A and B are shown apart, each in its own frame.
Chain A
C-alpha cells in the first residue's frame, strides 16, 4: 500500500520543475482570482499551470507558499501586514516587499481593487436603531455579533477593532458562508463582510462606516516566490498585464456571477479572461443546474477515488502501527499508560491546526499531510481496541496457550489475536468510519475528495454544492460500515459466535 502511494505521488514530484502551482484561499473571491491567475498563466503557453483551490486559511496557504508547494496566490496587503509580517505599519507594497524578501517571497501586480473588512447590518434594522457607523454600535450593547472565525482571531480583525472602538460585545463565531442566512433570520444583528461581497445588495445590507479608520487597506496583489519571474519569464509578463484590470465594481460583479448566478469558478474566470483578451465575452455556460447534475458531475469519480485513497491508505498505515502498539500496551502496563495517553492526546488536536502544523513539517500541501493527519487520528480506536481485546482474554486460555509450549509469536498469531479479533476489527471499523468524515477537511489543504465540494459550497453559500459533497461522504461511511460487518462475518471464527 505504501509503495502504491509513493508511485501515485511520483508524477507530481517529477514534473514539479515545469509546473506553476497557483493557490487560493477558501472563499469565493480567492477561488475566482486563483482561477484567473491559473488561466492567464496557462494561456502564456510556457508552463503547465495547476490551481490548488480552497487551501484553508491564511496560515495554511502561506505555509504552502513558503514550502514551495505552491508558487503564487492572490492575497491582500492588509492581511500580509497584520497576519504574515505582524507589522501594522508595513502597508505599502515597497515596505512589504522589503520584509518578504528575507523569506524569498514578494508581492506584485496590484489588481486594482481594495477589499477591506467591514461590519454590516440589515439596512432595515440599522435604520430602526439609527446606526450608521461602527462607533454607533457601542450604544447598543444588546446586539448579537456573528463573526467569521478568521476575523475573530486576526490582529486586524475583532481584537483590534474591539479595542479601537471600545466595543462591549461578546461575539459568536459563525462560518462566513452561513452568516448571511443567520443575519436574514435575525439570529445575529451584525456580521463581518468583505467590501467586494456579492451579497451586500442581495440581502439589503448597510455597510457601517469605519469612522475611526481602523481597517487598513486590503489591496489585492499577487504574493509569489521570488524565483517565479526567472523560472517562467513569459508567464510572469502575462500575469503583469493583470495590473489594475479589476476594479472593485468588477470584482463584486464576478463574485455575484459565482454566488448569485451559480456559475462555476471556472466559468466566471474563463469569462473574465476571454474579455481581457479582447474576445467576445462569452463565458462557457454551465447549462441549467440540477442537484443530480452536480452530485454526479464530471468530478464525481475523481473525488471518490481521492476520498477512498485518503481513507484507506491512512487506515492501512494506522493498522500497521496501531495493532503492534496495542499488543505492546497489553503486554506492558507501564508502556500502556503512555501509549494510550499519547494516541488519546493526538485525538484532541483540532484538525485544521494539525494540518497547518504538518504542512511546514512535510514541506508540501495536499495528500501527504492529509494522510499523516488521518493516520494519527485513526490510531486511538485501533490501539485501544487491540489492547482491551487482548486484556479481555480469560486468564485460563492465556495460560493454556503458554502451557502448550507455543513460542510467543505463534501464541500471538494463532491464539491471542484471533481471540481479540472481534474487538480489533471493531476498532478498525470505528477508525474507517471516522476517517471518511475527517477526510472531508483534507480538501482545505488541496488533498481533494468530497470535501472539495463541501469547501466550495461553504465558500459561496451554495447548499446544493455542499450537499453534493456531504451526501456521498455519508453514503461512503455507511458502505464502509457495511463492508466491515461483512468482514466480521468472514474473519471472525464461527466458534466465537453465540
Chain B
C-alpha cells in the first residue's frame, strides 16, 4: 500500500502540486490522468523519490520514504518511462539484468528470470542481444517493462509509457499491459493523458487539474457521479465510444 500524506511541491512561484492526500490500493491499477502540468507526473516521481515533497510524506507499507532508505525502497519499485529510458551503451539483456548483477544475484537466477520476462513481454531472444538504437519503439518499451520487473517488485510505476508509440503499436501494447497487470497482480500506478487508456487499464482513476485532485474513484464513479463540470468536460473531450455521461 502506498500512501501520500499532504504532499505538496512548488517549482519557484509555480505550484506543481497543492497539498494532496492519496492512497494507492495494493494489487490494483490506479491511473493518474489530467492535462499537461496538472501534477500527475510529479506525484508519480515522488513515489520513487525523484521529486521530494516540500511538505507531507510518502509512505510505502507504512514506512516513510527518505533520502537514506530511497535506494532500498526503489528495489521494490519498478519504474517505466516514455520510450523505455534504456541505457544506450548496454544491450537489451544488460539493461534488464543491470540491477540484479549489481546486487550480486547468481548468474543462473538472472538467466532464468530474463527468459521468463522475455516470454511475458513477448520479446524474441534475438532482440535481447541488440542495443536500444537497433530496437523498434515498441520493443524498447517492452524491454523497459522487463527491466522494471526484473527483481519482481510489488510496485510498478509507469509514466506515460506509451506516449511515443504509433497508434497500432500503442493499441497492441495497451492489451499486453492489461494482460500483464492481470497476471502479475501488482500495485500499479500509471500516468497518462488519454482517457481511453485510463478507462481500459485502470481499476481506479484519479483526475488532476492544476496541481489538485478533482476526483478519485472508479470509471463508473467519474462517469455517473462527476463532482464538478470539469470531470464531464474532460471525459467528453476524449471523442470516444464511452457511454453517455449523466448530467
The answer on a CB contact under 8 Å between A410 and B85 is no
Q: A495 at interface (Cβ–Cβ under 8 A)?
A: yes
Scan residues 392-424 of chain A and give those whose CB is less than 8 A from a CB of chain B. Answer: 396-397, 399-407, 410, 414-415, 418-419, 421
Give Cα A400 to B147, complex, Å. 11
The answer on a CB contact under 8 Å between B88 and A410 is no
Chain B residues, CB < 8 A from A286: none
Q: Given A397-B85, A403-B74, A406-B99, do A495 and B90 touch, yes or no (CB 8 Å)?
A: yes
Q: Given A414-B102, A495-B132, A495-B133, do A405 and B87 touch, yes or no (CB 8 Å)?
A: no
Q: Who on chain A is nearest to B130 by CB? A: A495
Candidates B72, B74, B131, B133; contact of A404 at CB < 8 Å: B74
Candidates A396, A405, A407, A419; contact of B85 at CB < 8 Å: A396
Candidates B49, B86, B131, B147; contact of A494 at CB < 8 Å: B131
Chain B nearest Cβ from A482, distance in angstroms: 24
**What 18 additional pairs, Cβ within 8 angstroms, besides A396-B85, A404-B79?**
A396-B81, A397-B88, A399-B50, A399-B81, A399-B85, A400-B87, A402-B50, A403-B50, A404-B74, A404-B98, A405-B99, A406-B102, A414-B102, A419-B87, A419-B89, A493-B90, A495-B91, A495-B133
Give Cα A495 to B90, complex, Å. 7
Sample 10 A-B pairs with CB under 8 A, ordered by A number. A399-B50, A399-B85, A400-B85, A400-B87, A403-B48, A404-B74, A405-B74, A405-B77, A414-B98, A495-B90
Binding site for A on B (CB under 8 A): 48-50, 70-75, 77, 79, 81-82, 85-91, 98-99, 102, 131-133, 147
Q: A496 at interface (Cβ–Cβ under 8 A)?
A: yes
Q: Given A405-B74, A406-B102, A494-B131, do A400 and B89 touch, yes or no (CB 8 Å)?
A: no
Scan residues 417-459 of chain A and give those whose CB is less than 8 A from a CB of chain B. Answer: 418-419, 421
Chain B residues, CB < 8 A from A495: 88-91, 131-133
Chain A residues, CB < 8 A from B82: 396
Chain A residues, CB < 8 A from B99: 404-406
Chain A residues, CB < 8 A from B77: 403, 405
Give Cα A407 to B79, complex, Å. 16
Q: Who on chain B is nearest to A494 by CB? A: B131
Q: Given A406-B99, A410-B102, A494-B131, do A401 and B87 touch, yes or no (CB 8 Å)?
A: yes
The answer on a CB contact under 8 Å between B90 and A405 is no
Candidates B70, B75, B87; contact of A415 at CB < 8 Å: B87
Chain B residues, CB < 8 A from A419: 87-89
Give Cα A344 to B90, complex, Å. 34
Scan residues 78-135 of chain A and give those whose CB is less than 8 A from a CB of chain B. Answer: none
Chain B residues, CB < 8 A from A494: 131
The answer on a CB contact under 8 Å between A405 and B88 is no
Binding site for B on A (CB under 8 A): 396-397, 399-407, 410, 414-415, 418-419, 421, 493-496
Give Cα A101 to B133, complex, Å. 74
Chain A residues, CB < 8 A from B71: 405-407
Most chain A C-beta atoms within 10 Å of own C-beta, residue among B48, B88, B89: B89
Candidates A405, A418, A421; contact of B72 at CB < 8 Å: A405
Chain B nearest Cβ from A402, distance in angstroms: 6
Candidates B50, B70, B87; contact of A397 at CB < 8 Å: B87
Most chain B C-beta atoms within 10 Å of own C-beta, residue among A400, A407, A418: A400
Give Cα A495 to B49, complex, Å. 29
Give Cα A414 to B72, complex, Å. 18
Chain A residues, CB < 8 A from B133: 495
Chain B nearest Cβ from A411, distance in angstroms: 9
Chain A residues, CB < 8 A from B79: 400, 403-404
Chain B residues, CB < 8 A from A403: 48-50, 74, 77, 79
Chain B residues, CB < 8 A from A402: 49-50, 74
Q: Who on chain A is nearest to B153 by CB? A: A405
Chain A nearest Cβ from B47, distance in angstroms: 10
Chain B residues, CB < 8 A from A405: 70-75, 77, 99
Chain B nearest Cβ from A63, distance in angstroms: 49
Give Cα A163 to B228, complex, Å. 94
Give Cα A396 to B85, complex, Å. 7
Q: Who on chain B is nearest to A495 by CB? A: B131
Chain A residues, CB < 8 A from B89: 418-419, 421, 493, 495-496
Chain B nearest Cβ from A491, distance in angstroms: 11
Chain A residues, CB < 8 A from B75: 405
Q: Who on chain B is nearest to A492 by CB? A: B89
Chain A nearest Cβ from B128, distance in angstroms: 13
Give Cα A405 to B88, complex, Å. 18
The answer on a CB contact under 8 Å between A400 and B81 is yes
Give Cα A403 to B91, complex, Å. 19
Closest 9 CB pairs of A and B: A405-B74, A495-B131, A493-B89, A400-B85, A403-B79, A405-B71, A405-B75, A418-B89, A495-B89
Chain A nearest Cβ from B118, distance in angstroms: 19
Chain B nearest Cβ from A406, distance in angstroms: 6
Chain A residues, CB < 8 A from B88: 397, 419, 493, 495-496
Chain A residues, CB < 8 A from B85: 396-397, 399-400
Chain B residues, CB < 8 A from A410: 102
Q: Who on chain A is nearest to B48 by CB? A: A403
Chain B nearest Cβ from A408, distance in angstroms: 9
Give Cα A396 to B147, complex, Å. 15
Chain B residues, CB < 8 A from A399: 50, 81, 85
Chain A nearest Cβ from B65, distance in angstroms: 12
Chain B residues, CB < 8 A from A404: 74, 79, 98-99, 147
Q: Who on chain A is nearest to B90 by CB? A: A495
Q: Who on chain A is nearest to B91 by CB? A: A495
Chain B residues, CB < 8 A from A421: 89
Chain A nearest Cβ from B6, distance in angstroms: 23
Give Cα A407 to B91, complex, Å. 21
